[in-house]
């Protein structure tokens, strides 16, 4: 969000801004409305009036793309110069992006919409890229004398159907703010209330997997997440009832939004994976490396985080963090090559769910506290000091009850470790 709103400031100057959370109800409004925040109406109007102040040049409308870097993130601005339609209208600018790679080769093949990884740059009811500026008043005889940035996008946040070099058509249109253009899955219907439309093409190389490729893999990667969770649950040789129920709930949640036939298909697929992994773990034939390796091949970041979160939920389900469970979890987290800070956040939250009164003598403080035994004593003590600061603060801020008790339990673990590793 901060980056997104930074776009407005790229156009009109300033710094990245923060966003206060809207009051109850407002937060649930459509992303379409949210997307409008990218351009503030006041600045936009000022910008336009400045451009229209001179009548020295009246040329035809030209689009241009301009790449910039802001905070290490590439931004493509859509710039325009020339005459605007001779009408009076409460107007807005809209931007759509289509992948035309296949369409160019074979005109029978349709243009395909591009998906946005950013909620705020999406159509109201889909994940397809969509941008709308704030409304402004258009009167006849207006012209942009110089190139003016009207919209923009972050190439990194776009996902075309497939990876590799993709040809994109960037389409800028002017709509009526009182009767906005309606889109369905990226396309408008017949006779849309569009007053101006112009497009420009560009080519971008996408390294990440495209959305159609990822969709093909989605069910398999969810299955892999279930397998990893079963592996964690079975790390101590048994499947606790609460652990099993946690995986069951995950499966239920993951099939809930599909129509009945797909639900049945997915249910079977996920249940089979559950059973198979359970049997493999029981017979000591489970290969964690294979599951992780396949997950790294096909899993998106989101799916991987979902899987890790499920694994930690399973670990904390029975209230006990077994040494074997923590060891396997640390390995999965490391091998999935995810951001360590994010993993620590997920882990900390799961530790708060434990039942510290059940902590056994088998407790592995090194695994709980992420201590690598090959670290020097100095490094361990430095790490412990940071953990102590973190949990001491959390203890202070958590309400009375289990979570606070668990924060105290973590403080006790830290001081035991300090005792163990102090010189």
Partner 1 sequence: MSKIVGIDLGTTFSALSYIDDAGRPVVVYNDDGQNITPSCVHEIEKNTFVVGESARKEWGVSKKAAAARFKRDMGTTKTYKINNHEFSPTDLSTFVLKKLKQDSEKEIGKIAEASVTIPANFGHDAREATLLAAKNAGLNVKYIIDEPTAAALYYAYKEGKSLSGHYVVYDLGGGTFDVSVIKVKNQNIEIVASEGVSKLGGYDFDTELKKLVAKKFKEKTSQVLKDDEYNENDAENDKKSLSKRDKVRVSVGKTNIEITRVEFEESISSLIAQTEMLCETVLDNAKIKVQDIKAVFFAGGSTRIPAIVNSVKKIFKKEPISTVNVDEVVALGASLYAAFKNDGSLLTSTQKESVSKLSVDECTHNYFGTYMQTNDEETGQILLVNDVIIPRGKKIPVSITKDYYTPLNDMESIICRVTESKEEEKDIKFVKLIWEGELEFNSKRPAGTKISVTFSFTENKTMNCEFLDEETSVKKEIDLSFDSLHEQKNTVEDIDKFLVE
Which string of DSSP letters, residue by residue, matches 267-283? HHHHHHHHHHHHHHHHT
271/284 Cα distance (integer angstroms): 20
389: contact with partner 1 by CB under 8 A: yes
Residue 345 interacting with partner 1 (CB under 8 A):
yes
Q: Which helix (H) or strand (E) holds 143?
A: strand 143-153
How many residues belong to the site for partner 1 (CB under 8 A)?
A: 60
372 versus 389: smaller Cβ distance to partner 1: 389
Residue 324 interacts with partner 1 (CB under 8 A): yes or no: no
Print burial letters for 395-408: b (CB count within 10 Å at least 16), e (below 16).
beebeeebbbbbbb
Cβ pair 201, 168 in contact under 8 A: yes
**Closer CB to partner 1, 105 or 334, in the complex:** 334
Of 268 and 389, the one with the shorter C-beta distance to partner 1 is 389
Which lies closer to partner 1 via its Cβ, residue 195 or residue 395?
395
| d(C-alpha 98, C-alpha 112), whole Å | 5
Spell out the SS3 assignment of 155-170: HHHEECCCCEEEEEEE
By the rule CB under 8 A, 142 interacts with partner 1 = no
From 7, 34, 48, 128, residue interacting with partner 1 (rule: CB under 8 A):
34
**Binding residue for partner 1 (CB under 8 A) from 63, 78, 120, 281?**
120
Query: Which residues, 6 or more positions from 348, have their beta carbon under 8 angstroms from its beta carbon?
Result: 390
Provide, rounded to whole angstroms, the least separation between the CB of residue 398 and partner 1: 7
Query: Is the distance from CB of 226 to CB of 251 less than 8 angstroms?
Result: yes
b/e map 146-171, b = 16+ CB within 10 Å? ebbbbbbbbbbbbbbbbbeebbbbbb
Which residue's CB is nearer to partner 1, number 277 or number 356? 356
Residue 282: which residues within 8 A CB-CB, separation 6 or more?
Answer: 234
Does 399 engage in binding with partner 1 (CB under 8 A)?
yes
Residue 375, interface with partner 1 (CB under 8 A)?
no
As measured in angstroms, the least distance from the Cβ of 161 to partner 1 is 19
Phi, psi for residue 143 in degrees, rounded to 5: -145, 140
Residue of 23, 53, 107, 256 interacting with partner 1 (CB under 8 A): 23
Exactly one of 305, 312, 313, 326 binds partner 1 (CB under 8 A); which one? 305
**Can residue 215 be called a binding residue for partner 1 (CB under 8 A)?**
no
Which H helix or E strand runs over 146?
strand 143-153
| SS (HEC) of 42-110 | HHHHHHHHHHHCCCCCCCCCEEEEEEEEECCEEEEEEEEEEECCCCCEEEEEEEEEEECHHHHHCCCCC
**Pick from 93, 98, 118, 154: which binds partner 1 (CB under 8 A)?**
118
Measured from the CB atom, the residue of 63 and 210 that comes closer to partner 1 is: 210
Q: Determine which residue in the list 244, 395, 402, 405 makes contact with partner 1, applying CB under 8 A.
A: 395
Please, which residue, 212 or 338, has the CB nearer to partner 1?
338
* 353 lies in the binding site for partner 1 (CB under 8 A): no
Binding residue for partner 1, selected from 143, 398, 402, 405, defined by CB under 8 A: 398
**d(Cα 61, Cα 58) in Å, to the nearest integer?**
9
**Position 107 contacts partner 1 (CB under 8 A):** no
Residues that bind partner 1 in the complex, under the rule CB under 8 A = 1-5, 8, 17-24, 26-27, 29, 33-34, 36-37, 40-41, 117-120, 134, 157, 301-302, 305, 338-339, 342, 345, 349, 384-385, 388-390, 392-400, 408, 411-412, 414-416, 418-419, 422
């Amino acid at each position: 969000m901060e980056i997104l709103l930074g776009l407005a400031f790229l156009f009109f100057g300033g710094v990245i801004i923060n966003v206060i959370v809207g009051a109850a109800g407002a937060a649930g409004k459509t992303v379409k409305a949210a997307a409008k925040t990218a351009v503030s109406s006041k600045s936009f109007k000022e910008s336009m009036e400045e451009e229209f102040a001179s009548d020295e040049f009246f040329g035809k409308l030209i689009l241009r793309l301009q790449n910039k870097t802001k905070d290490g993130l590439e931004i493509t601005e859509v710039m325009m110069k020339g005459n605007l339609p001779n009408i009076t209208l409460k107007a807005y600018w809209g931007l759509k992006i289509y992948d035309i790679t296949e369409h160019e080769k074979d005109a029978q093949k349709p243009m395909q919409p591009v998906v946005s990884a950013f909620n705020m740059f999406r159509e109201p009811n889909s994940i397809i890229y969509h941008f709308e500026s704030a409304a402004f008043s258009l009167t006849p005889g207006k012209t942009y004398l110089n190139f003016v940035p009207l919209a923009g996008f972050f190439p990194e946040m776009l996902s075309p159907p497939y990876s590799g070099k993709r040809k994109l058509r960037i389409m800028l249109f002017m709509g009526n703010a009182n009767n906005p253009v309606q889109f369905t899955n990226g396309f408008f219907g017949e006779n849309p209330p569009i007053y101006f439309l112009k497009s420009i093409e560009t080519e971008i190389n996408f390294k990440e997997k495209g959305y159609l490729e990822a969709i093909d893999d989605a069910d398999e990667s969810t299955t892999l997440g279930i397998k990893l969770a079963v592996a964690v649950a079975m790390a101590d040789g048994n499947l606790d009832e609460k652990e099993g129920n946690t995986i069951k709930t995950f499966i239920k949640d993951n099939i809930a939004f599909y129509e009945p036939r797909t639900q049945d298909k997915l249910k079977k697929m996920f249940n089979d994976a559950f059973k198979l992994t359970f049997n493999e773990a029981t017979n000591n034939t489970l290969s964690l490396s294979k599951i992780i390796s396949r997950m790294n091949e096909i899993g998106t970041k989101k799916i991987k985080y979902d899987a890790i979160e499920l694994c930690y939920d399973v670990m904390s389900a029975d209230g006990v963090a077994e040494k074997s469970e923590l060891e396997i979890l640390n390995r999965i987290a490391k091998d999935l090559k995810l951001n360590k800070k994010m993993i620590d956040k997920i882990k900390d939250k799961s530790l708060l769910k434990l039942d510290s009164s059940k902590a056994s003598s088998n407790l592995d403080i090194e695994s709980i506290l992420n201590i690598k035994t090959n670290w020097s004593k100095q490094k361990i003590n430095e790490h412990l000091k940071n953990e102590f600061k973190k949990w001491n603060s959390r203890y202070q801020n958590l309400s009375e009850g289990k979570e606070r008790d668990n924060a105290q339990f973590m403080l006790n673990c830290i001081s035991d470790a300090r005792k163990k590793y102090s010189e």
